[in-house]
Amino acid sequence: MSKRKLNAPRAAAAVEAPASASSNGEKLQKVLARTGLGSRREMERWIEQGRIAVDGKPAVLGDRVGDRARLSIDGKPIERPPAAETRCILYHKPTGEVCSRKDPQGRRTVFERLPKLKSGRWISIGRLDFNTSGLLLFTTDGELANALMHPSANIEREYMVRVMGAVEEPMLQQMRDGVMLEDGPARFSDIQDGGGDGINHWYYVVLMEGRNREVRRLWESQGLTVSRLKRVRYGDVFIPSKVKQGQWAELDAKEVKGLYRLAGLPQKQLKRSSVKEKEVMERQFGKRKSPVPASRGRPPSRKPHKSHK
């Protein structure tokens, strides 16, 4: 008896499909994934849980929706990005910023300095912790972001690390071979010496995944401490020297094409930045602080090493 009651609302929703649901539209879970809310599979679960509505009526698996369909989750409207267009930018994150859209503690978020969008929203491809600086990628295509962040993508992430402590070759080899962390095995696929002396010695390390604090935890497994950490590469995208901390830049067509190739997705049409946004970019790149005197604590200036799979 209780089983019939549980299934009744879903059956009724299936009979009374939303007026904008169409066999010619896109699958609802695909449209939802593009907003950056989650993967297609996760969106399917949300549909089954009754969290999604189309034109004010409960959605069901199998729904297809047209461009004018009004979507909502838990009663809140969902803003949809254009289906055929994409934008991708990089941002040089300073330490002291969080990767969430809002922070309960009132700290600055990485989204505050990004260009404003007329439609859709910026979706972060991965995260960096509060004390890590460097390259962050953003896109308006949630499906692209989800695919790149999936563990099966095996995308190289390169970091520049300053390590405190006496580093010996057996330690480096152990981190290449792999160590067991509390959430499973982890390893660097490559480690290159970046120069420096004493407590200011630098290394370039490459990971194939993005687990929480993984770089720091790998070094800590050897009794060493990471005093500075900066991501310098994601896949084939390097952080340009002209993009200083707190600044962003549009990815070029080749870089965007490379991201879609890594994600295994067909490339979408690239929507370029507006004239106003280009002016903002030019102004920010025109700002240069006075030269910083040479210091033992500064990172090496050589081009980051790019390893090969």
Active-site residues: which are they?
129
- The encoded tokens of residue 50 equal 């009754």
> What's the chain's Rg over C-alpha atoms?
23
**Across-strand partners of 124?**
138
- The encoded tokens of residue 155 equal 């995308």
Rounded to whole angstroms, the Cα distance separating 10 from 25 reads: 21
Neighbours of 274 (CB within 10 A): 12
**Across-strand partners of 123?**
139
CA 100 to chain centre: 11
- Provide DSSP, 178-231: -EEETTEEE--SEEEEEE--GGGEEEEEEESS--TTHHHHHHHTTT-EEEEEEE
- The encoded tokens of residue 108 equal 């600055």
Task: Give 189's DSSP letter.
Answer: S
